[in-house]
């Protein structure tokens, strides 16, 4: 079994083979969860002291729930709506691949330094999207990167829409 740090570094390097490896390694689910937790912790630390931002513990809970929802949604879109002939996947494979795709989020801890905050966030967003596309392509056994991009975009739209429905009413209630 590959070392955890080696896998995290390879995930951050967008190593296609790493995503294929963790997709197939059922024992890597705990490691994938650890990457999600560490990335959320980094985000929570990077946002300390900023108004309207969740602390590290809340970020961890939100990220773990979001990870499971995102993997399930991606599985549904990728295997039912946009499958390729070779597509064969389960939610566990997507959990592992997408968990490691959150590795670029580890640098969000640098957001605690005010001057770096404006650089870190856009870099992490672009880097994370690239990691997600690779993770989706590998986990869904796609030959087409464009199809993986479509799955990520459709998933982001649906996820964002649902999140907005759930979150916005509560946010407005407290602000009136």
Which structural domain, as residue segments, surrounds residue 142? 4-175
In this prediction, residue 4 carries a pLDDT of: 96
Give the pLDDT mean for 23-43: 95
What's the burial of 146, exposed, middle or buried (CB within 10 Å: 0-12/13-18/19+)? exposed
* CA of residue 70 relative to chain centroid, distance: 8
* The pair of three-digit structure tokens given for residue 144, joined into one six-digit string: 């087409």
Tell me the two tokens of residue 20. Answer: 């294929």
| CA-wise closest residue to 103 among 32, 26, 1 | 32
Nearest Cα to 22, choosing from 96, 79, 88, 124? 96
Q: How many separate domains does the chain show?
A: 1
pLDDT of residue 172: 44
CA distances from 174 to 52, 71, 168, 170 (A): 12, 31, 10, 7
pLDDT in tens, 114-171: 888 889 989 999 999 999 999 999 999 999 999 999 999 999 999 888 878 776 554 4
pLDDT over 70 at 55, yes or no: no
What whole-number distance in Å separates Cα of residue 127 and Cα of residue 146?
17
């Amino acid at each position: 079994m590959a070392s955890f740090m080696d896998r995290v570094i390879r995930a951050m390097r967008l190593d296609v083979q790493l995503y294929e490896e963790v997709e197939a390694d059922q024992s890597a689910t705990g490691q994938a969860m650890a990457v999600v937790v560490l990335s959320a912790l980094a985000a929570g630390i990077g946002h300390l002291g900023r108004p309207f931002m969740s602390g590290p513990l809340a970020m961890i809970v939100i990220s773990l729930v979001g990870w499971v929802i995102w993997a399930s949604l991606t599985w549904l879109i990728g295997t039912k709506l946009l499958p390729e002939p070779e597509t064969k996947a389960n939610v566990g494979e997507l959990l592992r691949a997408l968990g490691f795709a959150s590795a670029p989020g580890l640098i969000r801890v640098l957001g605690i330094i005010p001057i770096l905050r404006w650089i870190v966030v856009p870099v992490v967003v672009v880097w994370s999207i690239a990691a997600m596309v690779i993770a989706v392509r590998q986990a869904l056994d796609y030959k087409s990167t464009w199809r993986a991009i479509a799955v990520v975009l459709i998933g982001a739209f649906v996820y964002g829409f649902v999140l907005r429905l759930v979150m916005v009413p509560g946010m407005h209630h407290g602000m009136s």
